[in-house]
Structure 1
Amino acid sequence: MALDPQVKALLEGMAENPGPRIIDLPVPDGREMYRGIAATLDLQGVAIGKVEDRNIPGPEGEIPVRIYTPVAAGSDALPVLVYYHGGGWVIGDLDTHDALCRTLANEACCKVVAVHYRLAPEHVFPAAVDDCYAALKWVEANGASIGVDATRIAVAGDSAGGNLAAVISQIAKVEKGPRIALQLLIYPVTDTDLDTGSYKANESGYFLERDGMIWFFDHYLKGADRNDFRIAPLKASSLAGLPDAYVVTAGFDPLRDEGRAYAEALKAAGVPTTHVNYDGMIHGFFNLQGVLDVGREAVKAAAKALKEGLE
């Protein structure tokens, strides 16, 4: 397994011009740096039919959401993807994942409702989980008013957002709704074990680092039980009966092994699951479409699976 040449060039360029690490900055500065990375390395100016920012009711106040209508939308109600952004539960927002959400909406011909859940350390676990589940229920209850078919709902997220999508799928099963047709999990956090083979092999130098995950967990968990399935969905007592899954991992990602383990556990529990590992990629490559050809290809492949899962 070798690094993709474009990834190698990107990492070498970053090494030649080193700046501060996000985890070495105050949280507000880290968030600004993350927004800058997205503005530099992701696609810009992706056409979209319509974008609407609004606030919806949440358990502890309003939750900002961004609703994307694809370019090819007709007059009929569309299926909908509820998207939870990554960023370690600390640094992401609607803007850092805007290009990805636009691309998914267009490629899958669905509406996307992106959710800006409460972030740590201001709001620790389970605030993000509570907001994400509330947003999913809001989409189901208000489908007609936003032009979506509430019987065709998928959830998705990347990294920490992938964790939230997996967790919300489990909560929806326990609570008997809303019904989720597909869970799209992009290099998800599924466990709290920092000693897997992929953590050891990719501890540093590949965008996401082990020290970064420690920093994220420390901000988000604040003493919470790390065996709670709402933190580590791989530790759930049963995965049977969960929605169909499409799981993406990257070869040079500390999270690779736990993503693969979750996909294998879903399959073992009888859940129809597709697992795609991009050998030469690093964590975050879905948000690097502006510089990585494979990133663009992978997003299109995931959107195809999403479209099929919502049919």
Structure 2
Amino acid sequence: MTKKTISGYNGDEITIHIYEPTDVETKNCLVYFHGGAFALKEAPYHLNLCFDYALQTPCKLVFVDYRLLPKYTFPFGLEDGYAATKWVFDHPEELDIKKDRIAVGGDSAGAAIAAGVTLLARDRAEMEIAFQLLIYPVMDKKQQTASMQTYTDTPMWNSVLNKKMWKLYLKDTASDANYASPIDADSHHNLPSAYIEVAEFDCLRDEGIHYAEALRNEQIDVILNKTEGTVHGYDMVESSEIVLKSKALRIEVLKKAFE
């Protein structure tokens, strides 16, 4: 692992961690954003999953320490994510990667950052992302879906907590923060293909499905994995059969995306 300090939003310093396999050469790179309601640091299972992505895909993985709530509201997390991804694109020789094999990924709030970075990359025309890996993603600040109305007290995450998260995240922001809420983007045209995974008993389930539909409406290739019997953050139980199955599918689609 290599730790680097780079410039984030407004030129302030942020940290990235670069993980790479030692027994195989790879020109692939996944820039990853962890979940945690835009407020919590990464959990051990985040790193374990990322180790597996790096080793089994294989790819070099850039793990981004974007700045967190409550001190840093939108757009800090998103813009830190964009700055880190842009740094990767600007340093292919240093990382020994190919610029056309750079993907972004994340889970939950981290998936919102990954999707937002992808939208910004398209609109700012400074880089072209190859693929997006979105695990039980936060996608919709409106919070009006059927699953959001249904799952008000589910474990790990629910609509009550989700409402608090959005209130904190958009505290100092105009209500049209469409890059924070990727489903509300002015257009979903000309975005990279995606893998989107949702959990069955998760208030975020339907917005992930709706985002997949929005991309498909633009003829973008999407693999939508509707996991069954699962709650938000279910892959924390690392040895369970459904987690191993989902992880294997994520790695499989990453391999194909990098081809």
TM-score under structure 1 length normalisation: 0.79
- 2:80 aligned partner, one-letter code: D
1:308 corresponding residue in structure 2: 256
* Partner SS, residue 81 of structure 1: strand
1:248-282 per-residue CA deviation (whole Å, 9 max, x = no partner) reads 10111100000000000100011111111002111
Q: Are residues 71 and 281 of structure 1, via their aligned partners in 2, closer, same or farther at CA, if it must alter by over 3 Å? A: farther
1:151 aligned counterpart, secondary structure: helix
Aligned length: 258
Deviation at 1:202, TM superposition (A): 1.7
Structure 1 residue matching 2:28: 3-state secondary structure? strand
1:39-84 Cα distance to aligned partner (Å, 9 max, x none): xxxxxxxxxxxx222212223422111111125423xx52100001
Q: Does 1:63 align with 2:14?
A: yes
Identity among equivalent pairs (%): 34
Within the alignment, does 1:52 sit opposite 2:30 as a pair? Answer: no
Distance 1:138 1:295 in 2: 32
3-state SS of paired residue (2:7):
strand
1:143–1:288 Cα change, 3 Å:
farther
Structure 1 stretches lacking a partner, 5+ long: 1-50
Equivalent in the alignment of 1:213: 162
Q: 1:72 to 1:293 in 2, by over 3 A?
A: farther
Q: Which residue of 2 aligns with 1:271?
A: 220
Partner of 2:42: 93
C-alpha distance in structure 1 between counterparts of 2:168 and 2:99, whole Å: 34
Structure ID, larger Rg: 1
Whole-angstrom CA distance in 2 between matches of 1:160 and 1:91: 10
Q: 2:98 aligns with which of 149, 165, 170?
A: 149
Aligned: 1:222 with 2:148? no
Matching residue of 2:237: 288
Where structure 2 has 5 or more consecutive residues not aligned to the other structure, the ranges are none
The alignment partner of 1:114 has SS state of: strand
Q: SS at 1:167's partner residue?
A: helix
SS in 2 for 1:199: helix
**1:225 Cα deviation after fit:** 2.9
Is 1:80 aligned to residue 29 of structure 2?
Answer: yes
**Aligned mates of 1:222, 1:130 — CA distance in 2:** 16
Q: Would you say 1:112 and 2:61 are equivalent positions?
A: yes
Query: Tell me, what secondary structure is at the counterpart of 2:229?
Result: strand
Q: Note closer, same or farther for the CA distance 1:280–1:226 as it changes in structure 2 (3 Å cut).
A: farther
Shift of residue 94, structure 1, vs aligned partner: 7.1
TM-score by length of 2: 0.94
Residue range with higher mean Cα deviation, 211-220 or 117-126:
211-220
Q: Which amino acid aligns with 1:54?
A: K
Distance 2:162 2:175 in 1: 14
Whole-angstrom CA distance in 2 between matches of 1:115 and 1:148: 17
Contact 2:68/2:77 (<8 A) preserved: yes
Deviation digits for residues 135-155 of structure 1, max 9, x if unmatched? 011001112112222221000
Give the match's secondary structure for 1:280: coil
Q: Is the 8 A contact 1:84 1:161 kept in 2?
A: yes
